[in-house]
Amino acid sequence: MTPLTVLRRLGYALGLPLVLVAVWWFASAGSTSPFWPPLSTIVAKFPGTWFSGRMTEDVLPSVVRLLVGYALAVVAGVAVGMLVGLSRRVRAFTEPTLEFFRAVPPPVLVPLIALFLGYTGSTSKVITIALGCVWPVLLNTVEGVRGVDEVLLDTARCYHLSRRSRLVHVVLRGASPQIAAGARQALSIGVILMVISELFGANRGLGASIVQFQRGFAIPEMWTGIIMLGLLGFVLSLVFRLVEHRALAWYRGLRDANRGA
Amino acid sequence: MGLIALGATSALLLAACGSGDGSLGTSSSASSSAAGGGSGSGAMTPLTVGVIPIIDVAPIYLGVDQGFFKDEGLDVKLELAQGGAAIVPAVVSGQYQFGFSNTTSLLLATAKGLPLKAVASGNQATDDPAKDFGGVVVKQDSPIKSPKDLAGKKVGVNNLNNIMTTTINKWVRDDGGDPSTIQYTELPFPDMAAAVAKGDIDAGQVVEPFLTIAKSQGERYLGSNLAGVEPGMQIALYFTSASYVQEHGDIVKKFTAAMNKSLDYAQAHQDETRAILPKYTKLDAKAQQAVTLPKWTSEINTDSVQLLADLGTQDGLFTKKVDVSTLLP
């Protein structure tokens, strides 16, 4: 990659954000509305709001809850999804039920989850996140497993691969592009649920902070919270892409090879 | 994404706050229908007032019903909102002309430079600390016997850093306890009794009708953090924006007059007040009779507004001192 192409790529990546920030900056510059403060005010409030303790006391616990809930969802989603995807009988048995639960929006479950798992503490929040994230992973895994090439499976059987390696190397691998698509979708759901779960019996956390700011009419601080949330989402998706890039390297290679053929 | 999350947030809070109608944004059209049938002195002025579906705002429903606002030439439409945090922006932006909010929230807004003006009393604590419309409940067998025992305990409030926390802190301090060790947890009123019963929190602050519900489920009333701090404390106020006062001073006067009449009428006719509750809350007939009503009077208890401002300053709610005279009429 020449320096010029690097520069061009950077320009593409940063172009729109820069334009948006500039528009926001100038459109809000002379604003006297207390609910629509100038971006300069918001930016000026940002470090004082977040870098004097809030990162470790609010953002970190939120992110940890998100990651734990998300990890639970991915593991459970892939495990159950493989089970359902591999067996026609299990699929026929569970699919209507899964569709039912999938259709229930997790935010409405928050009070219910709190009732069973406690109003305070992290458990109910982690479970809320996990319950919301599990569906895209699970359903994508089912589809991914069903889509695995029969010939590949037969070949693996012919070569007497053990059941375990067939599952790991053929089925799971074959389904992984679909699983990754589901996991990516789940991540954004997780961020939303991270915020929502904190509205119930939480003192601290990123979502709880934003609501506290809003209720205390600390409007510029509230805006910094929203920006913080956006930044967090951005970083998470970046990390996700890095992981996906590595894990699915074989798939990209295969796809490119197929296209070239 | 943040905005979406926040949107979902309010929807959720509403779902959780099943006390009332639960219909944020949908108007509960209690407006007097006889637009042309007034005293004949010209057209009626249409007004929108933001209220919360709680017992505290019964007088305005009663006043609309009794035609007190119509008599002043005001066609009042009541909009149910989620709380002061939602009503204040709507009033400042002119979406509502008047609103109802708790005193500390209004002081918070004033401290942040939002130009608000109180126009009438909202509701007050009763004069009896042992029989108020709000207070703290604990489990029947809880070791918490008096306010000072709340020190070091987990206490549920509907709103952190607001009127309930500052008054509980003062209540505990007056009783000889150290409120700085209280761990406050935010929970909606409807969930408070269940959280206390489950042991998630050691005590919970509730207002009616959740106080009656908590008692009926066998929880013990520790007393009122409102009347217990100051009998007749000014809990909430009706307010408008400072610019509206400047531009429509005459309408404000009429609203204040009708509101004051409604408040005194509600206090004097408690049976009628109780009977109006099902109009905008989901109280059944039994609860309607059982609940303790707050005190309603046309007189604003200015001393207690100053007290709430001082308590807010003491607890660090305001970054600078609040001048209550900017808020009070």
| pLDDT, tens digit, 9 for 90 and up, residues B90-132 | 898 889 999 999 999 999 888 888 889 999 999 999 999 889 9
**pLDDT (mean) for A103-117:** 83
pLDDT of B234 over the 90 cut = yes
Instruction: Name the residue type at position B208.
Output: E
The CATH class given to the A59-260 domain equals mainly alpha
Residue A153 to residue A113: CA distance in whole angstroms: 41
Q: Which residue has the higher pLDDT, A106 or A194?
A: A194
Confidence grade of residue B42 (pLDDT, cut at 50, 70, 90): low
**pLDDT (mean) for A237-255:** 87
Say if the Cβ atoms of A201 and B200 lie within 8 Å: yes
Average pLDDT, chain A: 87
| pLDDT, tens digit, 9 for 90 and up, residues A3-15 | 788 888 888 888 8
What was the pLDDT predicted at A75?
95
**pLDDT (mean) for B194-204:** 91
B110, A216 Cβ separation under 8 angstroms: no
**pLDDT (mean) for B315-328:** 85
> Which residues does chain B have within 8 Å of residue A214's beta carbon, measured at their own beta carbons?
6, 85
For A229, name the nearest residue in chain B, comparing CA atoms only: B2
Give the contacts of A99 (CB within 8 A, at least 6 positions apart): none
> Which residues does chain A have within 8 Å of residue B11's beta carbon, measured at their own beta carbons?
107
Structure tokens at A37: 């403060």
Q: Does B114 touch chain A (CB under 8 A)?
A: yes
B235, B226 Cβ separation under 8 angstroms: yes
Say if the Cβ atoms of B154 and A120 lie within 8 Å: yes
Confidence grade of residue A261 (pLDDT, cut at 50, 70, 90): low
Mutate to test the interface with A, among B3, B6, B87 (most CBs of A within 10 A): B6
Say if the Cβ atoms of A214 and B85 lie within 8 Å: yes
Average pLDDT, chain B: 84
Residue A167 to residue A153: CA distance in whole angstroms: 9
Q: Does B94 touch chain A (CB under 8 A)?
A: no
- Beta pairing, strands B45-51 & B74-80: parallel
Instruction: Name the residue type at position B317.
Output: L
Instruction: Name the residue type at position A231.
Output: L
Phi/psi at B47 (5° precision): -130, 145
> Which residues does chain B have within 8 Å of residue A217's beta carbon, measured at their own beta carbons?
85, 88, 108-109, 111-112, 114
Say if the Cβ atoms of B13 and A199 lie within 8 Å: yes
Q: Does B105 touch chain A (CB under 8 A)?
A: yes
**pLDDT (mean) for B13-24:** 37
Q: Which residue has the higher pLDDT, B10 or B68?
A: B68
Q: Which residue has the higher pLDDT, B298 or A30?
A: B298
Q: Does B197 touch chain A (CB under 8 A)?
A: no
What was the pLDDT predicted at A191?
92
Please tell me the distance in Å from B122's CA to the nearest CA on chain A: 19
Residue A221 to residue A223: CA distance in whole angstroms: 5
Please tell me the distance in Å from A235's CA to the nearest CA on chain B: 14
| pLDDT, tens digit, 9 for 90 and up, residues B46-72 | 999 999 888 999 999 999 999 999 998
B123, B101 Cβ separation under 8 angstroms: no
pLDDT of A109 over the 70 cut = yes
ipTM associated with this complex = 0.72
